[in-house]
Amino acid sequence: MNIIMFGPPAAGKGTQAKLLTAQRGLIQLSTGDMLRAARTSGSDLGKKVAGIMDRGDLVSDEIVIALIEEQLDLNKDASGFIFDGFPRTVEQAKALDKSLQARDQEVNGVVRLCVDDNVLLGRVEKRFKEEGRKDDNAESFKIRLGNYHEQTAPLLPYYAAQGKLTEVDGLAEIDTVASAIAQVLDMQKTDVESSTKPWWKRIFGG
């Protein structure tokens, strides 16, 4: 099962994705984590994206799509993925559909964590104190939130039109959000299972 954790910066996508990897054996693919790892390693890619990330801008579609493709190939036997922070543009969403299709898979569900904009800045400031992320400051956050509304939010109608979008209240406690997501995934699981069952089992049971 392939799930997208969707939401603005600091909505709790990473926290919830990590819980799901532990509970369901899905693999978390966070493009933000991959890019931060590239920076820590001092690779050319890391050097190329450092300034863009610190400013709060999006790195190119080409770079993040290549990172995701690489991970899909490295984890061919995975039972599914949780995409965290990807896709962030319509171009990325289309590329993801194509990549999964080529592997006889698809996006099964998109969980949108709904959090008011005015709560997010407080969360970013708190995370800066805990993790020291350079882009967790008021200036970069403004750009990240602007990019979310301009480039990422347009994906909502894209997935809603496919009947894949579910909204969860991201303001609730972590455990409450996790249970709400679990309910959504259990419903998706039943759908995925029944759509992959042969017709005679769907009709006669078994």
Among 31, 71, 166, 188, binds ligand AMP (CB under 6 A): 31
Among 6, 81, 86, 148, binds ligand AMP (CB under 6 A): 86
Q: Are strands 109-114 and 3-6 parallel, antiparallel or unpaired?
A: parallel
Among 7, 12, 85, 170, binds ligand AMP (CB under 6 A): 85
One-letter identity of residue 175: D
CB of 167 to ligand AMP, least distance (A): 20
CA atoms within 13 A on the CB side of 118: 0
Only segment of 70-78, 85-93, 115-123, 157-165 that touches ligand AMP (CB under 6 A): 85-93
Give the footprint of ligand AMP on residues 94-113 (CB under 6 A).
Answer: none
Among 50, 52, 90, 192, binds ligand AMP (CB under 6 A): 52
DSSP per-residue string spanning 83-139: EES---SHHHHHHHHHHHHHTT----EEEEEE--HHHHHHHHHHHHHHH--TT-SHH
User: Exposed, middle or buried by CB within 10 Å (0-12, 13-18, 19+), for 168?
Assistant: buried
* Contact status: 64 vs ligand AMP (CB under 6 A): yes
What are the residues binding ligand AMP (CB under 6 A)?
9, 31-32, 35, 52-53, 56-59, 64, 85-86, 88, 92, 135, 144
